[in-house]
Amino acid sequence: MERLMAGGISLLELSMEGIAQEAGVAKATVYRRWPNKEALLIDVVRRLEEPEPQPLGESFRGDMVTLLEFMRRRGLAKRSRWVLRSALSQMGSLPELRSLYHERVVNRRRDLIRQVVRRGVERGELRSDIDLDLLAEMLMAPMLVRTVLWEDAPLDDPGLSELIVDTVLQGVAAHPAAAG
């Protein structure tokens, strides 16, 4: 499937027959494993990625840096980045693909991040009046933009994850002493 897509075939043009032919197996063999090409693509995307790290729960900052660092390293893997970018670009025309991707990838990660944010609030590391979803989005968005949307965005800085987390935690307003 990856080779077909690398050759310029879009997901809409892909067929289970073509995928089976490329793999050198019968179409029935492919259908035994995946009900459709969307499920196959989601499986390809998931297999290209290493499992998400499980946050240790020692500190909010440490857990968020760990999760963002996972995303940064994943973004550095060109093959994974290319397949993900290709899939995301075609989700609008393939609602089943979008639904599967959200069910199997996005929602799982979102729940993990919410868990980290909730623990940070419970331990008093974060304000209790914070919109947990908004904070999670503010922390994850810069890395997602760099890994998925901006092809030329620098990801090679190993301190990027810490910089993102620290910038959000410290805020971006000028400090009174520095503003004067």
Verdict on whether the full-model pTM lies above 0.75:
no
Query: 117 Cβ partners below 8 Å, 6+ apart?
Result: 60, 126, 130, 132, 135, 136
CA angle 52, 158, 135 (to 5 degrees): 55
In-domain check, residue 3: no
In-domain check, residue 1: no
Confidence (pLDDT) at 63 = 94
The domain that holds 150 is classified in CATH as 1.10.357.10
How many domains in the chain?
A: 1
In-domain check, residue 167: yes
**Whether the Cβ atoms of residue 147 and residue 72 lie closer than 8 Å to each other:** yes
% residues pLDDT > 90 (the chain): 21
pLDDT digits (tens, 9 = 90+) for 30-54: 899 888 877 777 777 667 666 777 7
Structural domain harbouring 116: 36-171
**Cβ count near 21 (within 10 Å):** 14
pLDDT digits (tens, 9 = 90+) for 144-179: 888 777 777 778 888 999 999 999 998 866 666 655
Alpha-carbon torsion, ordered 87, 146, 60, 48, to 10 deg: 40
In-domain check, residue 178: no
